C-alpha cells in the first residue's frame, strides 16, 4: 500500500513521493523527514493533519547500529556544573553512544552552594515521557542508566521502565548507580534503601555503589578488602553479574573493587585498583564514574577489570586537571565547589592513559 501525501488544495498525489514512500523502498523511512521538510507549506499542513496515514521515520540512532548503542539516562541535572546527566551524557557521547536524558531533578546548581532552585520530576511525569516515546516507536534502547532518585514513587516507576524496555529489547543492559549517600550519611528517604535492595538490585545488570551504599544494600559494615569482596558476592546472589564498589577507604588507601560473575552460580572474577586519595571534594564524580564504566564495559564486555582501568584513568585525569585549573586561576573553592573540568578533558575521556592497574584476587 502506498503512503499518499496529497496536495492540500487539489488532491494531487506527487508520483515521486509515492515511489519514495512505498513500503518496499528501503529508503522510505530514511528520506521521509527530508521530503516533508522540502514540501510547500500547504502540503506540510496536510501531512500534519493526516499524520495517522504516514509511518513516521524512526531516528537514525534507532535504524543504524554504531557498535555502541542507545542509552536512556535517568538522573539529576543542574543548569550550572556537572553532576547527574550533565556528568554522564557528554562522556557517553564521546565514547560513541546516543544518549537520551530524562532529568529526575532539575536544579539551578548543585546543593553545595548556599542556595539552589529547581523542580522535581515525579513518577507519573516520568511514565508520561515513557508513554510518549512508546507511542512513536522510539522506546528502543540497549542500555538504561539510573542515578539520583529522590522518592519511592519515582523508583517504583523506574522498575516499570526496566520492564517496559526489556519487553522491547530483552537484552537491554541496566546499569544502576544506587545514589543514597556517602561517608555515613544517607541523603535520600530511608524507605528507598529496602526498595533498592529488594526490587532494584535483582533487575540490574551492573551496580556501582560506593562503600556506604554497598553497606546499605548488603546490611553489614565494610572495613576490609575481604568484606568488600563479600559484599560483591552478596550483590551477585541478588541479581547483577557486574558489581563495582567505586570507592572504598581501607587503612588509609582508596580502592575500587570490581567483581564479574560471568556464569550465575560460579565464582566471580574479582579485582581491585588502588588509587591516590586527593584531598578535595568534587561534585559529580560518582555519576561520571558510572557512565565511564558503562561505556568501557560495553567495549570490553568480558573484561570488567579493563573497563575499570580505563574509567579510573579518565576520572583521575579529570580530577587532576580540575585542581590544576583552579590553582592556575588562584581560586580556592569551598568544601563542595570543585566543579569538574569535563569539557576540557575530552581527550582523557576518549583516549585515557592507564596509570593505575587492576590487581586480580
Cell of 242: 557486574
* d(C-alpha 160, C-alpha 150), whole Å: 16
Angle at 201 between CA 229 and CA 170, to 5 degrees: 120
Q: 324 by DSSP, 3-state: which?
A: helix
CA distances from 76 to 84, 121, 291, 298 (A): 5, 10, 13, 23
Of the residues 98, 177, 287, 348, only one is catalytic, namely: 287
Residue 287 annotated to the active site: yes
* d(C-alpha 244, C-alpha 236), whole Å: 11
Q: 52 by DSSP, 3-state: which?
A: helix
With 0-12 / 13-18 / 19 or more C-beta atoms within 10 angstroms meaning exposed / middle / buried, residue 21 is buried
How far, in whole angstroms, is CA 154 from its chain's centroid?
A: 16
- 255, containing H or E segment: strand 253-260
DSSP states of 85-124? HHHHHHHHHHTT-EEEEEEEEEESS-TTSS---EEE--HH
Cα torsion 146, 148, 153, 158 to 10°: value is 0
At a CB cut-off of 8 Å and minimum separation 6, what does 233 contact?
A: 259, 268
Widest Cα–Cα separation across the chain:
81
Q: Which residues pair with 101 in a beta bridge?
A: 73
Catalytic positions, please? 287
Amino acid at each position: 500500500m502506498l503512503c499518499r501525501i496529497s496536495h492540500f488544495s487539489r488532491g494531487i498525489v506527487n508520483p515521486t513521493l509515492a515511489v519514495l514512500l512505498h513500503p518496499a523502498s528501503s529508503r522510505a523511512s530514511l528520506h521521509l523527514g527530508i521530503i516533508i521538510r522540502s514540501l510547500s507549506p500547504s502540503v506540510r499542513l496536510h501531512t500534519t493533519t493526516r499524520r495517522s496515514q504516514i509511518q513516521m521515520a524512526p531516528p537514525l540512532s534507532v535504524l543504524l547500529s554504531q557498535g555502541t548503542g542507545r542509552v536512556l539516562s535517568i538522573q539529576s541535572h543542574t543548569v550550572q556544573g556537572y553532576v547527574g546527566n550533565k556528568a554522564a551524557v557528554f562522556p557517553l557521547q564521546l565514547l560513541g553512544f546516543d544518549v537520551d536524558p530524562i532529568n529526575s531533578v532539575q536544579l539551578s546548581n548543585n546543593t553545595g552552594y548556599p542556595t539552589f532552585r529547581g523542580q522535581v520530576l515525579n513518577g507519573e511525569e516520568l511514565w508520561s515521557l515513557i508513554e510518549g516515546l512508546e507511542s512513536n516507536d522510539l522506546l528502543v534502547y540497549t542500555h538504561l542508566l539510573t542515578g539520583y532518585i529522590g522518592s519511592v514513587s519515582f523508583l517504583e516507576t523506574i522498575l516499570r521502565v526496566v520492564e517496559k524496555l526489556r519487553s522491547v529489547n530483552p537484552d537491554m543492559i541496566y546499569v544502576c548507580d544506587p545514589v543514597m549517600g556517602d561517608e555515613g550519611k544517607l541523603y535520600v528517604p530511608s524507605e528507598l534503601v529496602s526498595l533498592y535492595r529488594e526490587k532494584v538490585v535483582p533487575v540490574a545488570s551492573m551496580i556501582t555503589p560506593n562503600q556506604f551504599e554497598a553497606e546499605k544494600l548488603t546490611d553489614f559494615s565494610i572495613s576490609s578488602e575481604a568484606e568488600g569482596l563479600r559484599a560483591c558476592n552478596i550483590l551477585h546472589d541478588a541479581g547483577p553479574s557486574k558489581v563495582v564498589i567505586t570507592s572504598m577507604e581501607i587503612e588509609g588507601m582508596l580502592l575500587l573493587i570490581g567483581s564479574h560473575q560471568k556464569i550465575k552460580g560460579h565464582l566471580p572474577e574479582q579485582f581491585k585498583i588502588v588509587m591516590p586519595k586527593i584531598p578535595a571534594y568534587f561534585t559529580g564524580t560518582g555519576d561520571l564514574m558510572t557512565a565511564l564504566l558503562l561505556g568501557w564495559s560495553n567495549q570490553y564486555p568480558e573484561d570488567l577489570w579493563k573497563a575499570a582501568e580505563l574509567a579510573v584513568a579518565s576520572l583521575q585525569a579529570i580530577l587532576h586537571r580540575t585542581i590544576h585549573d583552579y590553582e592556575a586561576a588562584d581560586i580556592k573553592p569551598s568544601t563542595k565547589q570543585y566543579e569538574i573540568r569535563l569539557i576540557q578533558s575530552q581527550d582523557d575521556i576518549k583516549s585515557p592513559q592507564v596509570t593505575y592497574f587492576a590487581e586480580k584476587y
